[in-house]
Chain A
C-alpha cells in the first residue's frame, strides 16, 4: 500500500522586543539566572499584566506579510496548568480569537516547484521559564529569565506533505521573520522552534490519520529527520496492524528518534478562559495601514528588483536575498559602488560568504565594512589594482584596520597602466623568450598566456593584464 504523509507545523517565534510581553523586564539572552524578572514575571500576589504594544505591532507585521486578516479584536486567555517554571499557574495566550487569521506562504522546493502552504493563525503568547534538571543532584532549579518573553505561534494548515516541504516551509518562515526584523531567529537560543503534527493515511483517503505531535524541534535538519523517523514509525505500525496513539513525542537528535513524552507532561484540561486582567485587544484600521506602509521589501520583491533593475543573474539574486542581512550588506556596498552590481554579487557570494563559512560567523560579525568592499571593487574597476591583488588585499582587510586606499599606497600596489613602461617589460620578455615568440607566430597562440605571466611576474602582478596582453601581441606582430 502506498501512504501519504500529512504535516502541520506550529512554529514558535520569539519576538525581539526589548521587554517582556506583559512586564517591563528585559528579554536579553544569557543574563544571570532569575535576574530578568519583575514581580509580574514571578507571579507575585497582586501584580497585573500590561500588554507590550511592540509585540502587537510585530504580530501585525507578520500577518500583513502573509496576506492574513488582522483581527480588529482579539482576546488573551489563560491556559491553566501547574508547573514550577510557570509562575502564575497559567500561561497567557490567545485562544479563541487570535490576532492573525488565515494567511498563506508560497514555498519553493529543491526541484524548483512551488507550493502554497495555508497558515491558519498566528497568535501572541508568553513563554514559560526553564526547569534545569541536570545542575543539582536530585533537585530541579528554575530560571525565570525566559518567563514572559513574547512568542508568536504560527500554526500552519495540514498542507505539508513531506519532510522536505516542512523544512522548506520552516526555512521560509525563518527568513520572513528575519526580513521583518521581528525575531533574531536564533535557533540555538531557542528563539525559533517548532512542533510538528505528523500523520499518515493511505494514498487517496480523504480523512486524516491519527496524528502524533513532535515537540520542540530547533533546526531545519532536525525537522526533516524527526518527520522522516515519525512517518516511518507510523507506517510500520499501521502495516503491522497496530493503531497510532494520539500523543506528544520528543525528538532526540542524538539517537535520531522520536519517543513519547512522559504522560504527566502531556496536555490535560487547560481550562481556557478569557483573562479578566486584560481588556480585549482592539486594533484600528489606521494602525494596520501605518504598519503596512512600513513593511520592508521582502524576499520575492528583492529578487525581482535585483534581476530586473540590477541585472543580476537570477540564481545569484536569490542567493543574495536568501539572507536578509547578506542582502543588506550587498545593498550597503552598492550604496558606495554601483557601477557593477554583478561584480559585487560575485565577490559576496564567493569571497565574503567563503569567509563566513570558514569562520562560522554571521554577516554582522564580518570584519570588512561594506564601504571597504566597495572601495576595493572600485579600485579594480578603475584599474588601480588587479583582481589578484584585490583578493590579497581582501584577506588583509580581515585583520587590518587600514583602508583599502591606505594599503594600496603603503604597499605600492597601484597597477602599472603606463604603456611605455609596460612595453619595456614586454620587450625584455620577448627578448628572453624568443622561442615562444616564434611559436606564437607559427600559430601556437596558447603561449601568449605564458608570456603574459612572465611580464606579470616581472611587475609583481601590478601590470594591467589586459594591456600586457595587447602590447605583447602588438610587439610580436611588429
Chain B
C-alpha cells in the first residue's frame, strides 16, 4: 500500500474494500519495517484493536493515527522524549486523545520528539534523533519530528503534534507535509505535558489540509478541565473546504520578505504566490513592525514557564528517581541532573533567571509587554487582510548535528513561526516544492479561530498542485 490520506482511507472503509483491522495491520507492519532506521516512534501500540460499540459510529472510526509522546494516553508509556519519564505510564487520557478515542480512532504508537518539546531538530530526544525520510542524514525538524517523519514516510496517515514556537509547522515544512497549529485554546491542553503553558497548542500533521480538517473537527472544543480552552463553537471544518478564493486578500509582511531568505527558497515562495494569484487571491504588502522581537520575547516567556512547569519532576511521586542523593537537596539535584538533558537544563536555568527577583521586570514583564505589541501587530494587519503568508522556515532540512552546538542558531529556526504562538493566532504550513530534493513549506496565518479559512485556502492550493502528494524514495518499495 502506498501512502494514503485519511480521506482515501475513509473511502476505502466506506466501500468496504478494506477493514479497519487490515488498515491497522498494514500501518503496524510499515512501522515495524521502517522504524529501526527512521526512529519516528518511541513506542508502538501493537495490541489488536477492538472497536467497541460504545465508540460512536463516526466518520473517522477505524482511522489509525500516530500520537506525539507528549500526550498522555491511558495505560501507555508517555515519555515526553525524556529519561525523566522513561518509566512513566499515564493513568489517564489527554482530552484530545479521549475525544478521538470516543470517535473510534486507533493509536498506532507514540512518536519521538525533542525532550519536553524543547528543540527544533529532534536531536534532544533521550530516545535518539529521528531521521528525515527525504534524506537520512538530515533532521526532520522538531519538536514534533517523530510525528512528521511518520506521516512523511507513510508510517501513519496522520499524526498529532504540539506547537509551542513552531514545533508542528517547522517539521511539517522540513518533511514535505501539512502542519496545522490551531488557535491557542482551540484544543484542550489537558493531558498534554506542559512545556510553556501560554504558548502550547495541540495540532495536526497530515498529508493534506483536508485530512487536518477532518481530524480537527473531532479533536477541538471547550474542555472544562482546561480553563484556557475556548468556548468558541467548533465549526464543521470540512464544510468550509470548497470556498472560492477569489477576492481573498493576503498580506505579505515585509519583515518576512526582507531579503534574508536564500534565493532558491524565495523562488519557491514566489511560485506559490503565483499559484494563489491564479486562484483569484490578491496580495498586499503589510508590516508587522514588532515581529523582529519574537525570538527574544519567546526565549524569555517559554523558558520562564518551562522552569516552573518542569519543577514537578522531582523524583518524589513518579518518573526518574536518583539513588545517589544523601539528603533532600542532593536527591533533587541528582534526580534532575540525571533525568534531564542539556537543552532542557539550559531552558530551566534561563527561565529561573528571568523570573528571579530583580530581573523579573526587565525580562519577564517586558517580554509580556512586547508580546502584547506583537499581538496588536497581527490584529492591525487583519484589519486589512484575510490571512498572512510567508516562508515557514529559513531553510530546508539541515544536517544532523549541524546546529547542535549552537543553540542560538537552532533557536532562529523558529523565526517565522514563533510570532503566531506569542499572539495565539492559528497557522498552517504546507509544502510548495523542493530545493535539492528537499521539501520546503509556505506558512499561512489567520486571525484567531479562523482555522476553517486556513484549511480552505490550503485545500484549494492542494486541489491544483501535488507537492503535498510527493513521497520520499524510501516509500517506493511499499508502492
Q: Which A residues have a C-beta under 8 Å from some C-beta of B?
A: 39, 42-51, 78, 80, 82, 84, 87-90, 142, 264, 269, 271-273, 276-279
A277 to chain B, nearest CB (A): 5
| 3 nearest A-B residue pairs (beta carbon) | A89-B311, A276-B197, A276-B198
Residues of B within 8 A of A279 (CB): 227-228
Known A-B contacts A45-B85, A46-B94, A273-B355; A51 and B227 likewise in contact (beta carbons under 8 Å): yes
Report B302-337 CB contacts with A as 1/0, cut-off 8 Å.
Answer: 001101101110101110000000001100100000
* Cα separation A50 to B191 with both chains bound (whole Å): 14
* Cα separation A269 to B189 with both chains bound (whole Å): 29
Are A273 and B364 closer than 8 Å at their CB atoms? Answer: yes
Are A88 and B311 closer than 8 Å at their CB atoms? Answer: yes
Interface residues of B in 197-244 (CB under 8 A from A): 197-198, 224-228
Interface residues of B in 160-215 (CB under 8 A from A): 189-194, 196-198
Are B91 and A39 closer than 8 Å at their CB atoms? Answer: yes
B183 to chain A, nearest CB (A): 15
Residues of B within 8 A of A84 (CB): 314, 316, 328
Residues of A within 8 A of B225 (CB): 48, 50
Report B357-368 CB contacts with A as 1/0, cut-off 8 Å.
Answer: 100100010000
B77 to chain A, nearest CB (A): 12
Nearest residue in B to A82 (C-beta to C-beta)? B332
Nearest residue in A to B200 (C-beta to C-beta)? A276
Are A48 and B190 closer than 8 Å at their CB atoms? Answer: yes
Are B316 and A80 closer than 8 Å at their CB atoms? Answer: no
* Cα separation A47 to B226 with both chains bound (whole Å): 9
Most chain B beta carbons < 10 A, residue from A39, A48, A269: A48
Are A90 and B308 closer than 8 Å at their CB atoms? Answer: yes
Residues of A within 8 A of B197 (CB): 276-277
Are A277 and B228 closer than 8 Å at their CB atoms? Answer: yes
Residues of A within 8 A of B224 (CB): 50
Most chain B beta carbons < 10 A, residue from A44, A45, A89: A45
Is B90 part of the binding interface, using a Cβ–Cβ cutoff of 8 Å?
Answer: yes
Most chain A beta carbons < 10 A, residue from B228, B317, B318, B356: B317
Report B270-298 CB contacts with A as 1/0, cut-off 8 Å.
Answer: 00000000000000000000000000000
A144 to chain B, nearest CB (A): 8
* Cα separation A47 to B360 with both chains bound (whole Å): 26
Residues of A within 8 A of B355 (CB): 80, 271-273
25 A-B residue pairings within 8 Å (CB atoms): A42-B317, A43-B312, A45-B88, A46-B90, A46-B191, A46-B194, A48-B226, A48-B227, A48-B228, A50-B224, A82-B311, A87-B316, A89-B312, A89-B314, A90-B311, A269-B357, A271-B307, A271-B356, A271-B357, A273-B308, A273-B355, A276-B305, A278-B228, A279-B227, A279-B228
Residues of A within 8 A of B194 (CB): 45-46, 277
Nearest residue in A to B331 (C-beta to C-beta)? A84
Known A-B contacts A46-B191, A82-B311; A276 and B318 likewise in contact (beta carbons under 8 Å): no
A26 to chain B, nearest CB (A): 18
B438 to chain A, nearest CB (A): 34
Is B257 part of the binding interface, using a Cβ–Cβ cutoff of 8 Å?
Answer: no
* Cα separation A100 to B240 with both chains bound (whole Å): 47
Is B80 part of the binding interface, using a Cβ–Cβ cutoff of 8 Å?
Answer: yes
* Cα separation A370 to B135 with both chains bound (whole Å): 85
Nearest residue in A to B226 (C-beta to C-beta)? A48
Nearest residue in A to B310 (C-beta to C-beta)? A89
* Cα separation A89 to B355 with both chains bound (whole Å): 15
* Cα separation A43 to B224 with both chains bound (whole Å): 18
B242 to chain A, nearest CB (A): 36
